[in-house]
C-alpha cells in the first residue's frame, strides 16, 4: 500500500471517529427525547379517549399498540439515519418477521385474541368473569396486547393469555344488573313442608336486597338420605353478590330456628341381629 495513502487514512481516522461519535450522540439524544415524547403522546391519547367515553379495554389495548408501533418506527428511522439501506432493511425485517412469527405463534395468537375480545366485547374492564377451561374467575382490571389481568375475590392477580381466553366460553356475572340467588338447605323428614316454604318465602320478602318485582320461589328440591332438600330462589343486585348470599344464609338459619325447623345431621339406621347360637 502507498505510504501516502496509508498516512491519509490514519490522519482521517480521528476526524471520522469524531464525526461518528457526534452522530451517535445526537442519535441517542433524539432517541431519548422522542421516546419520552411518544410516552407523552400515548398519555394524551389515553386522556382524550377516556374523555370521549371510549371503553376502557379499547383504551388500554389501543394505547399499548400505539406505543409499540411508534417506538419501532423511531428505531427504524434512526437506523436509516446511520446509512442503513431501506430496501435491504425492509427485506431483512420481512425475513426476520417470518422467522419470528414461526417462533412466537402463541404470542401472535394472543395478539389476535386481544383484538377479538375488543371487537366482540364479551366483557369489559370492571366486569366479574369466569373462564370455563381452568375455572379462573375475578374482576377484569386490564386488557393488554397479549394478556388479560384479573383480580380475584381474595385479591390475587390472575394473568390469562388472550388467545385461549378468546377461544373458550366465558361467563360474565356482571353483564346484567340482576343475578339469581339460590339457597338449598336440608330439613328433617317430619317437618311440615308448607311451613318450610312459607318461612323461606318470608325471609326473601323481608330482605331489602331482594327484587320484589321478580318471582320468589320456595320449593322442595329433592329427597336426600337424611333430609328433604328445600330451596329458595330470588333475584338480587349483582354487586356484592357474595355478601348478599352470606346474609341470606344467616337470615334463613335464624328464621328456621325461630320456626322450630330442624336441620338434621346425617343419620344411619343400624339393625342388630342377635345370634341364636
Exposed e or buried b per residue across 129-146, where buried means at least 16 C-beta atoms within 10 angstroms of its C-beta: bebeeeebbbbbebbbbb
pLDDT value, residue 103: 45
pLDDT digits (tens, 9 = 90+) for 62-104: 788 788 888 888 877 777 776 665 555 565 556 555 555 544 5
- Range with lowest mean pLDDT among 15-19, 206-210, 220-224: 15-19
> What average pLDDT score do residues 179-194 get?
93
* Residue 113, pLDDT above cutoff 90: no
* Residue 277, pLDDT above cutoff 60: no
State the SS3 of 6-64.
HHHHHHHHHHHHHHHHHHHHHHHHHHHHHHHHHHHHHHHHHHHHHHCCCCHHHHHHHHH
> What average pLDDT score do residues 129-137 get?
88
Closest C-alpha among 112, 20, 29 to residue 74: 29
Q: Which domains does the chain have, with CATH numbers?
A: 3-54+63-103 (1.10.287), 113-172 (2.30.30.60), 178-259 (3.30.70.100)
183 contacts 252 by C-beta, under 8 angstroms: yes
> What average pLDDT score do residues 198-223 get?
94
* Residue 191, pLDDT above cutoff 50: yes
DSSP 8-state symbol, 260:
T
* Residue 159, pLDDT above cutoff 70: yes
> What average pLDDT score do residues 170-191 get?
90
147-151: strand order across its sheet: 157-161, 147-151, 137-143, 128-131, 170-172
pLDDT value, residue 102: 44
178-187: strand order across its sheet: 178-187, 228-237, 217-223
3-state secondary structure of 258: helix
Place of cell 320456595: 218
- Range with lowest mean pLDDT among 64-78, 171-185, 200-214: 64-78
pLDDT value, residue 92: 57
Where helices occur in the chain by DSSP H, the ranges are 3-51, 56-81, 86-103, 105-120, 162-166, 193-206, 241-259
pLDDT digits (tens, 9 = 90+) for 11-56: 666 666 777 777 778 778 888 888 888 888 888 888 888 887 777 7
> What average pLDDT score do residues 252-268 get?
88
* Residue 221, pLDDT above cutoff 90: yes
Which of residues 275 and 255 earns the better pLDDT score? 255
Confidence of residue 9 (pLDDT cuts 50, 70, 90): low
Amino acid at each position: 500500500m502507498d505510504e501516502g495513502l496509508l498516512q491519509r487514512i490514519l490522519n482521517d481516522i480521528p476526524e471520522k471517529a469524531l464525526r461518528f461519535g457526534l452522530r451517535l450522540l445526537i442519535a441517542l439524544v433524539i432517541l431519548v427525547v422522542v421516546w419520552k415524547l411518544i410516552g407523552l403522546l400515548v398519555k394524551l391519547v389515553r386522556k382524550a379517549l377516556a374523555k370521549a367515553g371510549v371503553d376502557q379495554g379499547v383504551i388500554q389495548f389501543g394505547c399499548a399498540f400505539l406505543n409499540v408501533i411508534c417506538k419501532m418506527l423511531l428505531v427504524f428511522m434512526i437506523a436509516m439515519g446511520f446509512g442503513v439501506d431501506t430496501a435491504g432493511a425492509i427485506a431483512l425485517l420481512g425475513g426476520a418477521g417470518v422467522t419470528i412469527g414461526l417462533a412466537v405463534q402463541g404470542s401472535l395468537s394472543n395478539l389476535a385474541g386481544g383484538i377479538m375480545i375488543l371487537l366482540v366485547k364479551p366483557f369489559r374492564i370492571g366486569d366479574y368473569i369466569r373462564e370455563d377451561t381452568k375455572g379462573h374467575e375475578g374482576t377484569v382490571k386490564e386488557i393488554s396486547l397479549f394478556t388479560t389481568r384479573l383480580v380475584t375475590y381474595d385479591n390475587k392477580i390472575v394473568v390469562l393469555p388472550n388467545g385461549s381466553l378468546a377461544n373458550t366460553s366465558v361467563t360474565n356475572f356482571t353483564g346484567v344488573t340482576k343475578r339469581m340467588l339460590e339457597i338449598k338447605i336440608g330439613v328433617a323428614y317430619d317437618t311440615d313442608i308448607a311451613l318450610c316454604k312459607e318461612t323461606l318465602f318470608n325471609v326473601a320478602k323481608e330482605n331489602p336486597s331482594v327484587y320484589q318485582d321478580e318471582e320468589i320461589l320456595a320449593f322442595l328440591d329433592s329427597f336426600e338420605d337424611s333430609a328433604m332438600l328445600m330451596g329458595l330462589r330470588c333475584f338480587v343486585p349483582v354487586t356484592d353478590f357474595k355478601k348478599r348470599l352470606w346474609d341470606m344464609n344467616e337470615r334463613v338459619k335464624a328464621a328456621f330456628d325461630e320456626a322450630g325447623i330442624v336441620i338434621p345431621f346425617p343419620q344411619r339406621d343400624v339393625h342388630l341381629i342377635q345370634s341364636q347360637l
